[in-house]
Structure 1
């Protein structure tokens, strides 16, 4: 696995490692308290799945952000660096929303009863009082880490800008094609995150094990992961026929997301579901990102065989980035005009 080499890289990735460890520990504490509070008959109500699924999404977010951060510093991808920063700011807002959601559930469940008039939770167990400090700590941790990684990302941007400038030899046409390529990589990696979050919520809460939709929807997760890996492979090697198939897959996912949004906005049983607002949020963001991804993929295909493949050659790319790491060159080595054009 790639290891950071500079101080800024260590600070950027190290902050996200610390964030992941602390948040996962807090979420595990919350879910353990949840299990102690609820009775087995809690599965009779749909809301019982909301809290565990939202906590799982937090854990997945922290781990996936860390993977993206390591990938960003490994491939010197400036756009992915800032995408991680923006994602961390968004998850800060989501953590504040989760606190209100859990508080509302903790208020309503003690009054709920099952078909035999039995309580769904331990009435002598003050769940919210026990998890409230952890709920307050989550957005604070996200906020502190967000404040740390933004300056680090800016410093890394300045370091990587020089390496990218050398790799494209100052050719503005190649720079534009390289930027399109980087945007596509960032978008497709963000697509996977939002599609995964939507599928987990929609499949487990709304579809709720109803076959065949449950199995088919769940199959989207490995299919999306495989598509992401193959798309990165194909676009780097400029395989046109393979990329056409990837574009068709993007279009298929867009169609699926539109159909699910229509279902959630419809009048059927699946439109009446818990956590509907969060499902729609993930679905809409995934739809917008996937549409941009499709457009970017088409542009990348038109840029094939126009000099970008040589720039992306793995050996030469590692050679110049290694040289920059050893020499310590940054954007301060530019002329004022070069610095302005890169930033």
Structure 2
């Protein structure tokens, strides 16, 4: 049963730290956006009046604005994942949040390098900005501290919560294993939502042009394809629809070729470092996103296959029964054990004794 507030000291500390960290990062990214805007306005009034340079500066500013906005969105998504992980006692999701923070750290380090270590011509408008330097160093440092604290708290939370969510499904080891793969697929699909969405935002805002055929292929084919696959995966998993999940797994594996094509396209030597390079200031971020998306697609396809193998094992009925028991306890505010209430619940739903999976 989902709780509105977590119980125990460790879960509360975990939520509190996540909120504080997210607020700090949002403030830092908002200040970064302000510095980008001020630097852009100064360049418009300075000696950078050559049209080609002005165009490059505008592209650079747009890139950093987009990525700062995505960093803010990432923090909002992390708050949602952390809150849901604690409420549902989902230790798999707790681990994935740590990996999410690691990707955010990689992006923040990449941004620091792209501005102060190996800046492009357009990015040099930030290199003498001491405030920008301090805030980027602060962001990288905060991500390191946040990642370390989340690792410690996640380990403590795993010890505190353990795998209690699996106890509601009884003592069947095979059922527990099936549920573990079910939870992994749900979690990986949640990651797909953010990172594939982030990829689409970057493509649309930074790369695609109205007169490019790839723009229309992206809008009419790839975006609908992503939406259909992700929604279809949730639908097939919930109803254990074997054929639909098989089709989705096949589509996922086939889409790996698309991401390989994008890696080759982004690293094409014919455009690398040349005037008009569409990836001039977004290439390192874009590569991280493409690689993460490709790894997620591979993992989603592989875990989908594992879930297909477990369809028909009784997991669907076990989950439905656990939800039924949770609604019953919430409705009647009862603390009865599953043994006390199971007979009445099974009679109400027309279930037989062999359908009773939820044992405390």
TM-score interval (norm. to shorter): 0.7 to 0.9
- Correspondence 1:95 to 2:79: no
Per-residue deviation at 1:290?
Answer: 0.7
Aligned to 1:301: 308
Q: Contact 2:28 / 2:135 at 8 angstroms: preserved in 1?
A: yes
**Which residue in 1 is equivalent to 2:154?**
153
Q: Deviations over 1:43-66 (max 9, x none)?
A: 611333321122122112211222
How far apart are the structure 1 equivalents of 2:211 and 2:14? 43
| CA–CA separation in structure 2 for the residues paired with 1:109 and 1:52 | 14
Deviations 1:37-87 (A, max 9, x none): 214677611333321122122112211222222232233221111110122
Q: Residues 167 and 317 of structure 1 are in contact (CA less than 8 Å); yes or no, is this contact kept in structure 2?
A: no
User: 2:323 aligned with 1:315, yes or no?
Assistant: yes
Greater mean deviation of Cα atoms: 16-25 or 155-164 = 155-164
SS at match of 2:162: helix
Bigger mean CA deviation after superposition, 240-249 or 138-147:
240-249
How high is the TM-score relative to the length of structure 2? 0.74
Larger Rg: 2
Q: Partners of 1:150 and 1:222 in 2: how far apart?
A: 36
Match of 1:114 in 2: none
SS in 2 for 1:192: helix
Change (3 A) 1:236 1:43: farther
- The change in CA–CA distance for 1:212 and 1:299 in structure 2 (over 3 A counts) is same
Gapped runs of 5+ residues in structure 2? 45-50, 336-360
Partner of 1:86: 99
Q: Over the residues paired in the alignment, what is the CA RMSD in angstroms?
A: 3.3
Output one character per residue of 1:281-303: Cα deviation in whole Å (capped at 9) or x when no partner: 22122112211211211221221
What is aligned with 1:63?
Answer: 76
**Match for residue 292 of structure 1 among 280, 284, 299:** 299
Inter-CA distance 126–283: structure 2 relative to 1 (3 Å threshold): closer
Distance 1:207 1:169, change over 3 A: same
1:44 to 49, 55, 58: 55
1:181 Cα offset (Å): 1.2
Q: Displacement of 1:237 after TM fit?
A: 2.4
CA drift of 1:321 comes to: 10
- In 1, the alpha carbon distance for the partners of 2:120 and 2:165 equals 54
Work out whether residues 251 and 294 of structure 1, in 8 Å CA contact, stay in contact via their aligned partners in 2: yes
1:2–1:70 Cα contact (<8 Å) kept: no
CA change 1:108–1:69 in 2 (3 A) is same
Any stretches of 5+ residues in structure 1 without a counterpart?
112-120, 328-343
